[in-house]
Amino acid sequence: MTELVTRDDGSARPIHALPEAEADAGLARLPEAQRAWARVQGFTGGLGQLCLLPGPDGTPDAALFGLGTATSRARTRFAFASAAAGLPDGLWRIEGRLTPAEAQEAALGWLLAGYRFTRYKPGKAPAARLVAPQGVDADRIRALAAGEALTRDLVNTPAADMGPAELEAAARALAAEFGATVTVTKGPALAEGFPMIEAVGRASPRAPRLIDLGWGTEGPRVTLVGKGVCFDTGGLNIKTGSYMGLMKKDMGGAATVLGLARILMGLKARVRLRVLIPAVENVIAGNALKPKDILTSRKGLTVEVNDTDAEGRLVLADALALADAGKPDLIVSMATLTGAARTAVGPDLAPFYTDDEPLAAALSEAGAAAADPVWRLPFWAPYESVIEPDIADLDNAPGYGFAGSITAALFLRRFVTDTPRYLHFDIYAWQPNAAPGRPKGGVGQGARALLGAIERGFA
């Protein structure tokens, strides 16, 4: 497995990191034999290009890694992760002019390159180890990677092995590791206190529940609410097969907030953290939620169900009402909520909504610094009427045909009335094609950006 070490024990071999514009000058500084070898291998400094340099005995004693151009670097995150897979076992160190942000990204990418989902099939990770670049906090990078690995593991696990009970078990295991508390509401208490969570999950033989994790005694109070729909058939408005194929990832919001919680606790962050996860399966049975049913939410607002496949906002709404009653300093909801968000920004960007200008700026800055790209979308007030049907307070799936992510975000905002600072993420939580540091499968989005905003005091 890839490893990040704090100090060079004297055995580390150099990785000469060279931009394209400096490749010739870098090669000129090498011994003649290595320079000739690099030229034969066609090394030009192109982004991601790796060339092992032989020592006197023919075994590699150095390497070249191409940093490409500013344009190519802007188009590829975690490029240095590809080096981890191509280097032989042993200790390595980076030599080259990296900015602090580039050094951080290189170190994190190195660890992310070692991620393997091995629950059902063995997978061998690269064995090369890296000395943390100068100025990089190795413990912090390890905490970031551990949180991302937890998120990926949870999303990658199929629904047969990751239902509401298993998601609860994951939260309890995390709490035990860091001394957090967990309480769970289910059964009659769930039906009484969280009627929309119960309504969405009642058709499944795997009982729905609300998971409530708490940690920390000092600092701002931050409540993270993660959508935990462990599988989504669409309910009676059943999805077609192509749309149902990836629905094991519909608990990606829950996986992301648990991954972020792991990072915050691992870093001993000064924060009073609460994590709320409505954990359900949206399946079909005789008692399933039906189109045109009207639910009375925990908040007291009535909701007309015009599409049982718009269930995520229902379970989140009850959890948000509980979060709001506590009046924390910040509420964050994270959910794989709408296809409209994917259409708007694709799988790489994590769109977010907030009315808080300083918070929005802090998120954007922190996301850029942490190689965790986010993009702000608007709580557009003129669309409020779209989610207001004739016979209930709210409509969970208005037949408007436009702005699906925005109207979903506006729906959720109705349940946060007493907490001034609210932030909603509509994430994808899936890497559709393998990329450096990000194999195809589950992936975290927005967590490192949110970490930065929390550490900045929400700015």
| Residue 311 and residue 210 share a domain | yes
CATH number, domain containing residue 86 = 3.40.220.10
Q: Is the pTM of this model over 0.95?
A: yes
Q: Which residue has the tokens 């037949």?
A: 399
Query: Would you state the pLDDT for residue 125?
Result: 85
Query: Would you state the pLDDT for residue 299?
Result: 98
Q: Give the whole-angstrom CA distance, residue 33 versus residue 92.
A: 21
Which of 136, 160, 180 corresponds to the end of one domain?
A: 136
For 172-181, write each residue's pLDDT tens digit.
Answer: 999 999 999 9
| Residue 293 and residue 162 share a domain | yes
Query: Would you state the pLDDT for residue 407?
Result: 98
Which of 67, 102, 136 corresponds to the end of one domain?
A: 136
For 221-273, write each residue's pLDDT tens digit.
Answer: 999 999 999 999 999 999 999 999 999 999 999 999 999 999 999 999 999 99
Low-confidence ranges of the chain (pLDDT < 70): 1, 459
Query: Would you state the pLDDT for residue 168?
Result: 98
Which tokens is 267 given?
A: 């870093």
Which tokens is 204 given?
A: 């499944």
| Residue 225 and residue 175 share a domain | yes
Which of 112, 136, 160 corresponds to the end of one domain?
A: 136
The number of domains in the chain is 2
Query: Would you state the pLDDT for residue 72?
Result: 95
Backbone angles phi, psi at 30, to 5 degrees: -85, 155
Cβ-based neighbour number of residue 259 at 10 Å = 26
Cβ-based neighbour number of residue 399 at 10 Å = 8
| Residue 112 and residue 166 share a domain | no
| Residue 188 and residue 111 share a domain | no
Indicate if 290 belongs to the active site: no
The residue segments making up the domain with residue 266 are 143-455
| Residue 130 and residue 149 share a domain | no
| Residue 198 and residue 119 share a domain | no
Query: Would you state the pLDDT for residue 124?
Result: 87
Catalytic residue, candidates 227, 274, 313, 448: 313
Catalytic residue, candidates 239, 270, 272, 456: 239
| Residue 217 and residue 73 share a domain | no
Which tokens is 336 given?
A: 């794989």
Query: Would you state the pLDDT for residue 1?
Result: 55
CATH number, domain containing residue 416 = 3.40.630.10
| Residue 150 and residue 21 share a domain | no
Q: Give the whole-angstrom CA distance, residue 404 versus residue 193.
A: 28
| Residue 251 and residue 114 share a domain | no
| Residue 190 and residue 252 share a domain | yes
Q: Identify the H or E element spanning 323.
A: helix 312-325
Indicate if 249 belongs to the active site: no
Q: Give the whole-angstrom CA distance, residue 346 versus residue 371.
A: 16
| Residue 437 and residue 339 share a domain | yes
Query: Would you state the pLDDT for residue 126?
Result: 87
